[in-house]
Amino acid sequence: MKEEQINILRTMSQATNRLDLYKLAQMVNLDASQTMTQIQELAKEGFLRKVGNGYCVTEKGKAAVNVLTPVTKDMGFQFYTQIGYPTVYSAQSLAEFYKLAKQIGADSLEFHLSRGDFQRWFNDVFGDSELSEEMDKIKKASLQGESLRKAILNVIQAKYCIEELL
């Protein structure tokens, strides 16, 4: 997804009242024509839907904002391999988490899942109790290594369709 599109979705999601095209364009630093082109593309992909003479953010659009919006550094997820042994990897968004989960050592995934770290982060930082519960199910399955990685990635992909956002 293009940065301009993310900005449009984020701005529209945060708006407390109706925005006209020119105000929205100004807020996202595009001209009206560029903004309308991006809006139409977002609507075509299902992130926005036409309502009367305007557009609103769909559930898919809200999910994309949630996945792509970074949290503050102190709210990010720092990966460890064991207590006292941090890796160089940290995620500030669900999208970053997903990318890192693809490449980080399985020992780190095993460590955090067993302690409930992923579950707490998804629930406390993103308010996603459903994803947290899915992680608990994976934990109960006692998966390890690449099977664990695949299960974590599949659950996140199924919920957020991250691959189409990256």
pLDDT band at residue 142 using 50, 70 and 90 as cut-offs: very high
Residues 78, 54 share a domain: no
Residues with Cβ within 8 Å of residue 161, at least 6 apart in sequence: 60, 63
Residues 78, 55 share a domain: no
42-49 mean pLDDT: 94
CB-side neighbour CA atoms (13 Å) of 119 = 15
pTM, rounded to two decimals: 0.83
Helix, strand, or coil (residue 56) = strand
Instruction: Considering only residues 147 and 127, tell me which one the structure prediction assigns the higher pLDDT.
Output: 147
**What percent of the chain lies above the pLDDT cut of 70?**
100
DSSP-derived letter for residue 71 is P
Residues 55, 25 share a domain: yes
pLDDT over 90 (residue 66): no
Residues 45, 81 share a domain: no
Residues 85, 15 share a domain: no
57-76 mean pLDDT: 91
Q: Which domain holds residue 48?
A: 3-68
CATH number at residue 60: 1.10.10.10
Q: How many domains does the chain have?
A: 2
pLDDT at 38: 96
Mean pLDDT of the chain: 93
